[in-house]
A and B are shown apart, each in its own frame.
Chain A
């Protein structure tokens, strides 16, 4: 039995029905998915760069993904993640085949959680998720707000 395929199929069915119930709000409600794993790790870091790198190290060591690159731009509120070799790509593929744009990333949730828990970030928001099963790469745009004053710090992310 392919245990990873089974896990992906179960997550797919959960996310499918969740989307059916909540449409766009489904993404907002699933931000805790994945945080139990990262909270059980010893994530260290005095700033966002260190915390994110520590999260990525643990994600890779666990085999959840092969590579995760990141950058922070856009007035320091745009966290761009590039994930390759993700163990959850199958669920995204199944969702897309069912006509649903992938909307929930446990890996991104882990990093978001640790920015809040370890650095006291005000809030975060998964703004965009582009999973490409052909290239095996998933590109994510995550809005990260260190303080309430960062709300409204707009820029054009298409140029970032």
Chain B
């Protein structure tokens, strides 16, 4: 669709998502459906990290579930290495599933407390039997994975509750690595961890990417984490990607007012240096009954009549071609418009 931010061709896209839509029926909403994904287009190159940013209810997790094939899109296509995974059946489908794995947010809820670390890590091989030869091979591979995530072989026979939160997340990462995936979808992988441990896990994910050339889809609400890990960032608002581009471009020169507001709302360590912040009024509208035209117009200080009637098309950064935003009044072309707002 023409209204989506255009993404320049990156060589060897592992994952291509084109105009994906997904809605859910919800109780007490009459004929209205909850539009969780409203025309999502994005690419992920091999060995790269795509950061997905947005507030609760923006569709980040539905997008992650769609990439995991846990949700079938109503419209649009997903291409993984050129193949539509939703067309696969049987052995081909099983094979595909091994290529996309997930690391979950809560390392307490996502590990079975009745299984040892070794059993948890080896469990994916029960569905993918061809990947291991025999019991010895299994044990050796588990030891290798434990070593790879920095836990050491002694961890193999312990149960999850014997580990700290950071160590549990390492087990979750080892389990995701067991099937040698091409892509790992990390859904808020460090937000349940303490700061000092968070850095250890981020470093581990980075090392693994260097070693194994994995791609990550990294979902997080923490902008400083995303800035640190991502090559490209997609900012979501009410089911749409409203800005998309190389990480530094999006952070240094936000084009969409929402991106600018989001960046300015996040507290920073050197906050004293900043003189003003954009304080948005209100909260994210319901995705069951989203605003007409531009989804963000109800909270936007630049909104005009056209924003209520027409969905905005992509506006490209004049200097960086693969950085664009869905906005009628993009900040890079028209300025921030903040001067005219009463303080």
B partners with A: no
By a beta-carbon cutoff of 8 Å, the part of chain B in contact with chain A is none
